[in-house]
Structure 1
Amino acid sequence: MNPFNIGELKIPVPIIQGGMGIGISLAGLASAVANNGGIGVISTVGIGFIDETQSGNLRKRHIDAIRSEIRKAREKTQGILGVNIMSVITNFSDMVRTSIEEGIDIIFSGAGLPLDLPKYLGEGIKTKLAPIVSSSRAANLICHKWKQNFNYLPDALVVEGPKAGGHLGFKPNELEKESNTLENLVADILKVTREMKEKYNKDIPVIAAGGIFSGNDMFKIIKQGATAVQLGTRFVATEECDASAEFKNAFVQAGDDDIEIIKSPVGMPGRSISGSFLREAVAGKRRPDVCKYNCIKSCDPKTTSFCIASALLAAYKGNLADGFVFTGSSAGQVSKISTVNKVFSDLREEYDDEESKN
């Protein structure tokens, strides 16, 4: 495993921990990953909902919560920290501005095209920007729009394939297309980054994500041109993960047959672990009476089959009767609760084993 740079940021291990919400990747998990040489990522989505003892309006609660979480993580690590900010959340601007004010090292942003993200940067700001894309078309559009409107190019690109957990940037009928395999997507987006390098002399690392679980997976995709990888599922079943024990054990207990694609209220397909809540939602038994959170721009409470914020918040707290668990395609490979340090150690060993065969 080789270290790599994102601008002047030096990352010792080419592993980025995926930003998982609500509440799955907070200061605890992010700092542990950063302490092991990767990039630890705090998920901002719904962060103000987590501590229900806090008073004040929701906007202020979200701002206070992300500020507090970044500071807690900084107290635990000298490593590289990022935040994941979905572009479809209604408080996108607040989350970006607050993260930059707190000196976050890097912002990852997907679930839509963050076409105006560079406008939040200013004189002396060192925060790096890494869009999450699922096609070369999206990567190309972001690069050209950012360059045209802000004279800025992405500092890295995360390429998220159809085997990722949570919301997927594909239509349901596109998930199994050969052209959309992670390997093919990485190859396509490398063409975009090479063009940017030739035109503007800027290196844009390509970070592969979606379905990567082992060091063997890492070696293969890095050999094909990716600079680094992003993993989410393997970090959920760790002691440092910020989710409840019940949430983590859902991964330990899940088999391959328990993983399904759902229709999310956000308007995208999502990969999750099957459960009674999702069955009831499909049967129309979980329709919300009102919108409690106003969290996602694309969610229509009049037509949605369930409130995704309520469901993910319940699951984070361990109430799987009223919630569900997002997962990547490899959840069936999780067999026990581990530690972040052990995950890194195992990934290195698996990577070295694969490398020795080649």
Structure 2
Amino acid sequence: MNPLQIGNLVAAVPIVQGGMGVGISLSGLASAVANEGGIGVLSSAGLGLLYKHLGGDYISASIEGLKEELRKAREKTKGIIGVNVMVAMSNYADMVKTAIASKADIIFSGAGLPLDLPSFLKTDSHTKLVPIVSSGRAAKIICQKWQTEYRYLPDAIVVEGPKAGGHLGFKVPQLFDNNYSLEHLVPQVVDSVKEFEIKYNKKIPVIAAGGIYTGNDIKNFLNLGAAGVQMGTRFVTTYECDASVEFKNAYINAKKEDVEIIQSPVGMPGRAIANEFLDKVKMGLKQPIRCPFKCIKTCEVSSSPYCIITALYNAFKGNLKNGYAFAGANAYLANKLLSVKELFEELKVQYDQAVKSVSERLGS
């Protein structure tokens, strides 16, 4: 595998660990990935709950929490550390400003189009900006907007397909339509950014995400023109993942049919592992709801059956009776815990075997 270069940052292994909240990818997981030559990513979602002791309210606690997670990650690694900040978060601007001020290497931003993201950079900022899109059209819109308004182009682009975990940027029918598969989307995004690369003489590497699980998967998407891949689900069942063992076991114990599409209170479809909590939601049993956080701009509090950030926080802590685990389509393939180092070694072996297999076929 060739290194992944994003501006002046070079990841020896072209693997980005997806940002997973609430609390699933913090400094423990991100630093372990960075130490193996990948790009480790902190999730900024819900940090105000995890660090409520550091602030008088959710907003200030989120800011202090992100500072603390970046500090802890830096203590554990000299590798590349990014921060995932969802556009849909009500404290989006605060998290972006904090990440830049704290000198995060990269900001990954999706769950909406981050059209004004470059406006937060200062003249001395070194943080790279990487939007997450679900189509070639979205990639082109962002490139045009950023170049016109800010004379800035994305330092890379993540294209996330319909097999990803968590909130998905597709309508439900599209999730099962091959025309929206990641295999179709990657070449489209590569083509969309090519005109900007040529016109402005800037390399914009495309990173494929959503359902990538094996070394063979990595090889296939690199062959389609991606410069790297993003993997989230694959890192959940590592010892270093910051989630509870109960959360990890939900993956290990899941069957293929347990990984299902749900309708999230934030107004988007999502992919999660079926459990008793979600069964109750389907039956119309509402949790007593109040909204002390106002964490997501699009959340319809008046009609929501439950508070999503509380449900995800409960799952992170291991209380799956009052929450659930987001997961990618291939989560059911997990069957054991392993270290991040072991995972990287396994992926490299699988990748090399896939390359060798192709070479042997061509040779014969």
TM-score above 0.5, yes or no: yes
Contact kept? 2:27, 2:69, Cα under 8 Å: yes
Q: Tell me which residue corresponds to 2:40.
A: 40
Cα distance, 1:113 vs structure 2: 0.4
1:251 deviates by 0.6
Name the residue aligned to 1:94.
94
TM-superposed CA distance for 1:349, in Å, is 0.2
The corresponding residue for 1:323 is: 323
List runs of 5+ in structure 2 lacking aligned partners: 359-364
Q: Is the 8 A contact 1:17 1:30 kept in 2?
A: yes
Match of 2:133 in 1: 133
Question: Once the 2 structures are TM-superposed, how far is the Cα of residue 52 of structure 1 from its aligned partner?
Answer: 4.4
Could you state the TM-score of these two structures normalised by the residue count of structure 2? Answer: 0.97
Are residues 1:176 and 2:176 paired? yes
Q: What residue is the counterpart of 2:271 in the other structure?
A: 271
User: Structure 1 306/190 Cα, relative in aligned 2: closer, same or farther at 3 Å?
Assistant: same
Counterpart for residue 226 of structure 1: 226
TM-score by length of 1: 0.99
CA offsets, 1:71-113, max 9 Å, x none? 0000000000000000010000110001111100000000000
User: What is the CA–CA distance in structure 2 between the aligned matches of 1:153 and 1:53, rounded to whole Å?
Assistant: 38
Give yes or no for contact 1:287–1:304 (8 Å, CA) kept in 2: no
Amino acid at match of 1:276: E
Shift of 1:293: 1.4
| Larger displacement relative to structure 2 (73-82 or 273-282) | 273-282
Q: Post-superposition shift, 1:4? A: 2.2
Q: Deviations over 1:43-63 (max 9, x none)?
A: 000111014444511111000
The 2-side partners of 1:18 and 1:249 are apart by 19
Native 8 Å contact 1:312 1:323 kept in 2:
yes
SS, match of residue 132 in structure 1? strand
How far, CA to CA, are the matches of 2:89 and 2:183 in structure 1?
A: 29
Amino acid at match of 1:271: R
- How far apart are the structure 2 equivalents of 1:197 and 1:63? 35
Superposition map of 1:210-289 within 5 A = 210-289=210-289
Q: Which amino acid aligns with 1:69?
A: E
Q: Partner of 2:362 in structure 1? A: none
The whole-number CA distance in structure 1 between the counterparts of 2:281 and 2:292 is: 17
CA–CA separation in structure 1 for the residues paired with 2:241 and 2:291: 29
Q: What's the CA shift for 1:332? A: 1.1
Tell me the residue number matched to 2:300: 300
Query: Whole-Å Cα distance in 2 between the matches of residues 160 and 336 of structure 1?
Result: 26
Separation of aligned partners in 2, 1:55 and 1:68: 12
Instruction: Give the ranges of 4+ consecutive aligned residues of structure 1 lying more than 3 Å apart after TM superposition.
Output: 51-55
Q: Is the 8 A contact 1:14 1:227 kept in 2?
A: yes
Q: How many Å separate the matches in 1 of 2:296 and 2:34?
A: 29
Q: Which amino acid aligns with 2:233?
A: T
* In 2, Cα distance between equivalents of 1:294 and 1:108: 22
Contact 1:104 1:127 in 2 (8 A): yes
Instruction: Give the counterpart letter for 1:108 in structure 2.
Output: F
- Could you say which residue in structure 2 is the equivalent of 1:164? 164
Secondary structure, counterpart of 1:37 in structure 2: coil
Aligned partner letter, 1:109: S
Closer/same/farther in 2, CA of residues 49 and 258 from structure 1, 3 Å limit: same
Distance in 2 between residues matched to 1:128 and 1:280, nearest whole Å: 42
Deviation at 1:292, TM superposition (A): 2.4
Is the contact made by 2:162 and 2:175 (CA closer than 8 Å) also made in structure 1? yes
Report the equivalent of 1:9: 9
Contact 1:157 1:204 in 2 (8 A): yes
Determine if contact 2:52/2:58 at 8 Å carries over to the other structure. no
- Conserved in 1, the CA contact under 8 Å of 2:131 and 2:156? yes
CA distance, structure 1, for counterparts of residue 331 and residue 197 of structure 2:
37
- Mapped to 1, the partners of 2:97 and 2:55 lie a distance apart of 22
> Structure 1 residues 193, 55: closer, same or farther in 2, change over 3 A?
closer
